[in-house]
Amino acid sequence: MSYSIPSVLTVAGSDSSGGAGIQADIKTVESMGLYAQSVITALTAQNTLGVYGVFDVVPDFVCAQMDAVFGDIRPQAVKVGMVSSTDIVSAVARGLSEHAAPNVVFDPVMVSTSGSRLISQEAIDALVRELFPLATLITPNIPEAEVLCGMAIETPQDMESAARILFGMTPGAVLVKGGHGAIDADDLLYLGGSCRWLKGKRVETENTHGTGCTLSSAIACGLASGKEVFEAVLQAKRYVSGALRAGFAMGKGNGPLDHMWAHREAFGSLEA
């Protein structure tokens, strides 16, 4: 007897500490019962304290990885994360277009949790021009939305204004993520021409390394499984909230979430 399951492709940078990027994406996809594939756009030397180096993959090899994936186990959804140069942006955009990639969730990674800049201004301009038009959903956090929109975001009303601006850059939906500064952990989904607030409670923890990567991957899992955008986002928020509440403590800085929290709970391996 044989079977298959939906596949999710993650196109992102590698995190040597295992908490964000490709590693977080793979953990998320597998924890949600789907099959993970990857296209690595950059290697990073990083840990929970910061990013110490970024080594970009040659664009032609990014294309080769995408061709290999789509030529065999075709993914039902694609999550795109760190793309740090204009050439890599173009390579990823070309691959997504040539292979008619479905359900593209784009997390415009610009700054790490520790505050390290991960992408050039030229690359930001390129991703808006080349990748945003291919997205089913974009998921900027507040600092990223501020960069993209050229405005300060300090209130819920600011979030709504930013969402409308971002919606003008993409044919898909927009999720502006809360949880930064004075704004609570309420996210704003701009979908079908209207704003929908998704309420959430802030989890008091410093271990948030890879939160954005995890959320976008979890959303891609929902889309790959046949859920509509709204349901996929709600499912992903529940997953990330559980991973933050688990109380994981790894590293000396901003530690990672516990991607396997639900499995530990199910098997009774979490301490009381």
Dihedral through CA 90, CA 95, CA 96, CA 97, nearest 10? Answer: 90
Of 21, 172, 179, 210, which is the active-site residue? 210
Q: Which of 136, 208, 214, 255 is catalytic?
A: 208
Q: Is 210 designated active site?
A: yes
177 is a catalytic site residue: yes
Radius of gyration of the chain (CA): 17
Catalytic member of 211, 214, 237, 255: 211
Please answer whether residues 81 and 92 qualify as being in contact, where contact means their C-beta atoms are separated by less than 8 angstroms: no
Q: Does the active-site annotation cover 205?
A: no
Cα–Cα dist 19/39, whole Å: 17
Which among 27, 79, 177, 237 is annotated as catalytic? 177
Using an 8 Å Cβ cutoff, are 97 and 134 in contact?
yes
Q: Which residues are within 8 A (CB) of 158 and not within 5 positions of it... i.e. 6 or more apart?
A: 151, 152
Specify whether 212 is catalytic: yes
Is residue 195 classed as helix, strand or coil in its secondary structure?
strand
Which listed residue (18, 172, 212, 255) is catalytic?
Answer: 212
- The answer to whether residues 206 and 5 touch, using CB atoms and an 8 Å cutoff, is no
Among the options 63, 149, 213, 221, which is catalytic? 213
Instruction: Clarify whether 247 is annotated catalytic.
Output: no
Does 149 participate in catalysis according to the annotation? no
Which residues are the active-site residues? Answer: 177, 208, 210-213
